[in-house]
Amino acid sequence: MKRRVLTRAIAGAFLLKAALAHAAFSTTNFFNFEDNPVHPAALSPDATRLAVCNLPDDRLEIFDVTSGTPVSVGSVTVGLDPVTVRFRTATELWVANYISSSVSIIDLPTMRVKATLTVSNEPADLVFAGSPQMAFVSCERFGLVQVINPTN
């Protein structure tokens, strides 16, 4: 009986010590507020490149997928919280930046932002459709869709 009580006391002390140690390490002033990705990955029309949104680092990661295994070819800094990436052509990508309320247009051959469009609050998704082709950007804050002519 004494052994059982002693074992429980030791186990209780161990759990209390572990809980206190965990509490000491979990106290922080940093809050991660990343938004949920909407369409965070896109394959190029020619199936050679994969583009992936890197929300915590505000970047677009580009991979070569021709060998069957993704190989990083670089990254491009975009706006805050890139939640959606879409290919407009095999060499042009559009990225919806949720916190920045912007759309970054990426030139894939140079791996650079060639334009940044300011849109309404919290762009979440974008698609290309129609003839002539138009960009439709859904903006969450006001529940609206902005239509953009990508040629001008």
Q: Is the pTM of this model over 0.75?
A: yes
The model's pLDDT over 55-89, given as tens digits with 9 standing for 90+, comes to 989 999 999 999 999 999 999 999 999 999 999 99
- 96 within domain boundaries: yes
- 5 within domain boundaries: no
Question: Measured between alpha carbons, how far is 100 from 78 in angstroms, rounded to an integer?
Answer: 9
- The pLDDT of 42-47, averaged and rounded, is 96
Question: Measured between alpha carbons, how far is 97 from 125 in angstroms, rounded to an integer?
Answer: 9
- Our CA angle for 133, 138, 143, nearest 5°, is 140
CATH code assigned at 115: 2.130.10.10
- 86 within domain boundaries: yes
Neighbouring residues of 81: CB distance < 8 A, sequence distance ≥ 6:
34, 35, 55, 58, 97, 98, 99, 100
Q: Which domain holds residue 144?
A: 41-148
